[in-house]
Amino acid sequence: MKRTVWLAALAGLAVNCKALAVGGLATVSVIDRDSGTQLSTYYFKGEYWVAGRPGARYAIEIRNCAVGRLLAVTSVDGVNVISGATAGWGQTGYVFDPGADYQIAGWRKSDTEVADFTFTASPNSYAARTGRPANVGVIGVALFRERPAAPPRITQSQSPAEVPRAQASARDSAREAPAAAGESLGAIAADERVAPASPSVPAPKLGTGHGEREYSYVENTEFRRLQREPNEVIRIRYDSLENLVALGVVAASRVAPPVPNPFPVSHGRGFVPDPPG
């Protein structure tokens, strides 16, 4: 079986999963990094949407709500955010410890750098500029549970007292040995230091651009999937607020009309004004 290199992210522990985020095993939310706010999610005709600000940097925040580690294969506009390949479930992703959360802030360029995610007009998106405009406007996270380690076999020659020692030895060997065929390698980020078309849509759709580079560190870890297909797939679509209003995803704000005045040039009785100063 083909061996794949995975990347993983480890960040601060969280007690609760955010209410505005989407998902079950893990929650996914979109953060406007320029304002520091979490974008509101809108549920419309079976899909979740967020409204992005053109030109703003953003991040995909993933928080593990499961009891075990999770692998999150993440895509933007149909492109894998780590490898840059057209996205598929069997590709590289980030690994999260239980309770951990992490902000994926850009296209990974190396183990130490990413290129910022930026909201931009779809023709300027990374996907469109690399000849793949068909899926611009969607964020996807495919979540996989981890396969538990196989317990050691107990032979007839082992006494009950020897079984715990055999189990401990097996765990130590699994940590020290390289991945065998069918296993996957991954990475855990120690930290991340960031620098301070529907006819009714009136404006070009938003896509995700390839922005400035910044420091973002990851390292390898071992992860074996429990199954071939994801345990959960989270999908969030995005566009500008103007376009979401035009599509009916977001209700247009209602401005109260001005109250008409039957005597517009008459202002009632006048009195002596105060002198200047």
DSSP symbols for 241-253: HHHHHHHTSSPPP
Q: Measuring CA to CA, which residue among 205, 62, 215, 84 is closest to residue 144?
A: 62
What span, in angstroms and rounded, lies between the C-alpha atoms of 56 and 35?
9
Which of 43, 114, 38, 128 lies closest to 74 in space, CA to CA?
114
pLDDT value of position 117: 97
Q: For 51-71, what is the mean pLDDT? A: 94
Structure tokens at 241: 């607020």
- What distance in Å separates the CA atoms of residue 264 and residue 176, rounded to the nearest whole number? 85
- Amino acid making up residue 23: G
By three-state DSSP, how is residue 166 classified? Answer: helix
DSSP letter at 160 equals: T
Give the per-residue pLDDT at 267. Answer: 64
* pLDDT over threshold 80, residue 6: no
**Contact between 26 and 66 (Cβ < 8 Å):** yes
Residue 172, phi then psi, degrees to nearest 5: -65, -40
The string of pLDDT tens digits covering residues 116-149 is 999 999 999 999 999 999 999 999 999 999 998 8
pLDDT exceeds 80 at position 150: no
Q: Which tens digits make up the pLDDT trace of 89-105?
A: 999 999 999 999 999 99
Handedness of CA 87, 229, 90, 233 (dihedral sign): positive
Q: Is the pLDDT of residue 195 over 80?
A: no
Both tokens of 64, joined, read 């593990």
* Domain residue extents for the chain: 4-151+163-247
Q: Please give the single-letter amino acid code of residue 155.
A: T
Report residue 228 as tokens.
Answer: 């071939």
In eight-state DSSP terms, residue 65 is: -
Instruction: Produce one character per residue of 172-192: b if its CB has 16 or more CB atoms within 10 Å, e if not.
Output: eeeeeeebeeebbbbbbbeeb
- The residue with tokens 């703003």 is 56
pLDDT of residue 43: 92
CA 265/CA 277 separation, integer angstroms: 28
Euclidean distance between CA atoms 94 and 246, whole angstroms: 35
pLDDT at res. 268? 63
Q: What is the DSSP string of 175-240?
A: HHSPP-TT-EEEE-----------TT--SPPEEEEEEEEEE----EEEE-BSSSS-SEEEEEEEEE
Whether the model pTM is above 0.75: no
3-state SS of 116-149? Answer: EEEEEEHHHCHHHHCCCHHHCCEEEEEEEEECCC
pLDDT of residue 260 exceeding 70, the answer is yes
Structure tokens at 88: 């598929």
